[in-house]
Structure 1
Amino acid sequence: MTALTLAEVQQLRDETPGCLSGIIHFNHAGASLPSQSTLDAIIDQLQREARDGPMEAGEQGAILAENARSAAAQLLNAPTSSIAFASSGSTAWSMAFQALGPWQPGDRILVGRHEWGGNLASMQTAVQAGAQVEVIPCDETGAVSLAGLESMIDKKVRLIDLNWLPANSGLINPAQAIGQLAKRHAIPYFIDAGQALGQLPVDVQALGCDVLKGSGRKHLRGPRGTALLYVRPGFLKHLNPAQRDVFSAPWSPDGFDLRNDARRFETSEVSFALLAGLGNALQEINRLGVERVRQRIQLLSRIVRDELHQIDGITLHELGIAEHQSGLIAFNLAGVDAFELKRRLGLKRINIGANGVPYTPLDMQARGLESIARISVSYFNTIEEIEHLVETLQLLAKEP
């Protein structure tokens, strides 16, 4: 595997309108910058609909959607039939979770301390039915403890859910090892891969998960309003979606039967334009090679972390093993609220993220954090952009 060259990075930047606008973007974990060809794919489909009629252009739109499905399957090492599309990662996860019901009093749901707030909100229907959401202990690095998880397992456990790359630290949880444990005990296993897709290799066969979801707008560089849902083919029979229409449960003389693939989670009304853009973004990262992407993100994020350590007043909120962290860097600047810091950097045309307690409530409360600022790098960021970010943070740190 060869590393991304500077010439390749520059070409990627030349093909990305956001890189040509003067903005320095370090908020890829919130939403990354799409390429011009991704924008073109969206616009082409919209123009086709305007020219030929929205319904009449649907035939070509359906072809583009299936191209996106094939590209997603390639990225995940999954059968094409196991891929569904949704409007957001939270929607995808919630649909799969609700389809697991009905829940019974005493059912147990085991989650990592880093669980996404949206997933916890979806679990409240199960809690109202009498199920319990229980937090798996962390190990000494802050990751989900395999030994702690094993000690919690009994016949009442209905689900193990993992947030693979939490939104508020550089942690990469041991997703594959947890999958092996879940399989050994025959417990359904969901993975929230919202920050993983497009940042590191995701092989659902190796992970051993039953369900995995991820957003299109983050590291995949797809459009907002798109997400992927993977459902293991053998697990599909256990999922009974609450929402159905003539697409997910087509009519036959014998009645309305659910599809026998992951498209039982889709509906007849969909934005083919957005899926055309998502398909292009997926094809781009497949061509580029996600291993090469991961290598460059590791390099750049290591530089950012080293530089932040040198700035007086900055505290990093890192979890996990230093040599095995994601491109998400959580920190605070003394005396400056995280959202205010985001605003000040934005005025200088530098984009970062900021998260409050609702994003990862269990972990934020456990660590006594009210908010964190977040730098998230992508493979087409540059050393020069990092230097400018660091210089700006140094100046802000000296302000009264």
Structure 2
Amino acid sequence: MLDLDRVRADTPGCVDRVFLDSAGSSLPPVPVLDEVIGHLRREAEVGGYQAAAERADDLADVKVAIAQLIGAQPADLALVESATRGWADFFYSVPLGPGDRILVTEVEYASNAIAAFQRARSSGASVEVVPSAPSGEIDVDALHRMLDERVRLVSLVHAPTNGGLINPVREVVDLAHGVGALVLLDACQSVGQVPVDVRELGVDALSATGRKWLRGPRGTGFLYLRPELARTMEPAALDLHGAQWAEETGYRLAPDASRFEFWECSVAGRLGLGAAVRYLLDLSIDEVASAVSARAEFARTELASLPGITVRDLGGHRSGIVSFTVDGIDPAAVRESLAADDVTVTVSGRGSTWVDMTRRGLDDGVLRASPHYFNTFEDVERLVVSVAGL
């Protein structure tokens, strides 16, 4: 059972307002703040190089903690600046040529889609959208029909940015691997709020961010690669961290996923990410997932009971993202009205998930509330009362 008093005491930002935007950028707990700020102060005292050297063991432990969380090995992890950076680093390293096919879902995130279109244009490959089932998840039967030996990669969003469903992963992986395709999982909105085990999922790569459900600092994230790929795949870009200048005109790649890392980074940010993951591990991801689910389902039920409010979430297995619209009122105006009541939500615009939003007629976007485990049910009730007051 979560100690709600303790986690709220560790989260000063939730005391005077109702913060429901952990799907955007969550509130870091005090231990994360202390880690980041403390290291920045140390850099000011002795310089960045010495400060980093003093924390070499702690920096190595960041990967150990992440590996424990997602069922990986530290050598299969690369620390990066964001989920988008991790996703792109892998994607741009997958060989593509004329006639190759890239499959994406209707809920593909805009940054991923734009990268796919760019590479298709430059390589002669094609980008095709796998339709959603009526329930909202990827249509696995349709995927099966679309797959052939020309498919090089299937991009799957685990939990969409614009609504509360969670896509099936293992079925997609098994089908894709049957034709030799890779599966890249965007876990930006899932890691930190639901259990994620790469051994069970079987994905070839997974990207995640620190700032959302993990409650880490901005500018942090990680990329997981299946062990064979971590040892053999060559990144599209390298520096002297991912490879060594081994001869006059040659180089030697790092032996593991660190080949996808660059030398320069925010050491304070990475230490903060490690502190955030350790904080989550101490709480238990199962306890966190249960708390997030309970708060999100309560929000959906209460919002749906209000006249003029439509909850837009699809899917049989749902995440902590609650999407809804208010009849006759622009989502941005609703967001500002709620902010005046000290209730923080955000708007997920059409451009972030263009295909899904367009096909569902959500041209103005949706409001997005994302309660975390540090929120109380009273917080959710305040959201509902504020919405009702509109």
Smaller-chain TM-score range? Answer: over 0.9
1:123 partner SS: helix
**Match of residue 299 from structure 1:** 294
Matched residues in 2 for 1:337 and 1:225: separation?
Answer: 31
**Match of residue 80 from structure 1:** 74
**Match of residue 355 from structure 1:** 348
The question of 1:144 aligning with 2:135 is answered no
2:25 partner SS: coil
**Match of residue 41 from structure 1:** 35
Tell whether the 8 Å contact from 2:332 to 2:347 is kept in structure 1 after alignment: yes
Deviations 1:296-332 (A, max 9, x none): 11111111011001111111112112xx211111111
Task: Give me the TM-score of the superposition, normalised by structure 2.
Answer: 0.96
CA apart distance, 1:174: 0.5
Matched residues in 2 for 1:237 and 1:113: separation?
Answer: 32
Matched residues in 1 for 2:133 and 2:383: separation?
Answer: 33
Alignment partner for residue 240 of structure 1, among 234, 240, 256? 234
Return 187-196 or 173-182, whichever deviates more. 173-182
Alignment partner for residue 120 of structure 2, among 127, 139, 157? 127
Matched residues in 1 for 2:356 and 2:36: separation?
Answer: 38
Tell whether the 8 Å contact from 1:139 to 1:145 is kept in structure 2 after alignment: yes
Tell whether the 8 Å contact from 2:147 to 2:176 is kept in structure 1 after alignment: no
The change in CA–CA distance for 1:136 and 1:200 in structure 2 (over 3 A counts) is same
**Match of residue 284 from structure 1:** 279
Matched residues in 2 for 1:338 and 1:116: separation?
Answer: 20
Tell whether the 8 Å contact from 1:45 to 1:61 is kept in structure 2 after alignment: no
Matched residues in 1 for 2:237 and 2:229: separation?
Answer: 18
Runs of 4+ in 1 over 4 A off after TM superposition: none
2:23 partner SS: coil
Matched residues in 2 for 1:234 and 1:221: separation?
Answer: 30
Task: Give me the TM-score of the superposition, normalised by structure 1.
Answer: 0.94
Deviations 1:168-192 (A, max 9, x none): 1111110122122223333111000
Tell whether the 8 Å contact from 1:15 to 1:35 is kept in structure 2 after alignment: yes
Tell whether the 8 Å contact from 1:64 to 1:275 is kept in structure 2 after alignment: no
Tell whether the 8 Å contact from 2:173 to 2:202 is kept in structure 1 after alignment: yes
Alignment partner for residue 210 of structure 1, among 184, 195, 204? 204
- The number of residue pairs the alignment matches comes to 387
Tell whether the 8 Å contact from 2:25 to 2:212 is kept in structure 1 after alignment: yes
1:231-380 to structure 2, matched below 5 A, reads 231-236=225-230, 239-253=233-247, 255-321=250-316, 324-370=317-363, 371-380=365-374
**Match of residue 89 from structure 1:** 83
Matched residues in 2 for 1:229 and 1:379: separation?
Answer: 25
CA apart distance, 1:54: 1.4
CA apart distance, 1:125: 2.8
Tell whether the 8 Å contact from 2:149 to 2:180 is kept in structure 1 after alignment: no
The question of 1:163 aligning with 2:157 is answered yes
Return 217-226 or 329-338, whichever deviates more. 329-338
**Match of residue 53 from structure 2:** 59
The change in CA–CA distance for 1:237 and 1:105 in structure 2 (over 3 A counts) is farther
Runs of 5+ consecutive residues of structure 1 not aligned to the other structure:
none
RMSD over aligned CA atoms reads 1.3
Matched residues in 1 for 2:114 and 2:54: separation?
Answer: 37
Matched residues in 1 for 2:236 and 2:167: separation?
Answer: 31
Matched residues in 2 for 1:189 and 1:204: separation?
Answer: 12
